Amino acid sequence: MAENSEQKFVIFGNPVEHSKSPQMQNAGFKHLGFEANYDKYLLEDGKKLKKSFISNKIQGANITVPHKEEAFKQADEVVGIAQKIGAVNTYILDNGKVKAYNTDAPGFMKAIESFKDVQKVLIIGAGGTAKAIAFALQEAGKDVTILNRSREKLTFFKDNGFETYTWDSFRLDNFDLVVNSTSAGLKDDNYPCNKTQLENIFINATNAFDCIYGKETPFLALAKKEGLKTKDGEDMLLYQGVLALEYFTNKEANSTLTEIMRQALKQ
């Protein structure tokens, strides 16, 4: 019997059942005539990431929460901005070695292009996604402030030259863009910080971006109510996925391919 020549790609995460990456990536493969299949892979123990990747003969993978920082540690080679971020979301098998990238950072920058004149940015949260966004903005010469509930996670940002605050030490300022990088609102009706505090932030802000996609979070609903221009994380997911596909297939994505992947996301 002929061996299946189809290459294997997955998204590792926990939880992972909600991920729309498979429909997006498989539509991209199909359009390119690339013989591959992309699936979900529930990985409970992040320490087993590289082992699972290699032993299952996977050619490439995306990595989502909570494994991005662990993925960084286990990679054989980390490429580009990901070295600064300390978190990766894309693995490629290259001559038996695991090469890692962060496509969240450029994906985010592409997603906020529709917001005009963004210079001062407030990021709420201090996880792997916040790191990617913060460094992408810093590289683009933006002024970045990080706001987080606990102090410990802010040390990394402080050490890398970002202005940092906990909820109780935060001083109000004007921001062109406020980003929710936390999971608040994904499976609940929570705000990423105290509601009154958030209202005060929004009074002095122009745009709001939530990394969560597929629903209007309380964060975005409140921003809209305060008259801000808003955007959810769908474009960030799309553009990071398009970049990942380029790494997976070694082919450059054009606008047609990007549009096909966007439509697949909406299904």
With contact defined as beta carbons under 8 Å apart, do 177 and 206 qualify?
yes
**Could you say which of 8, 20, 50, 68 is catalytic?**
68
- Give yes or no: 47 in active site: no
Cα within 13 Å of Cα(99), Cβ side? 13
Q: Could you list the active site residues? A: 68
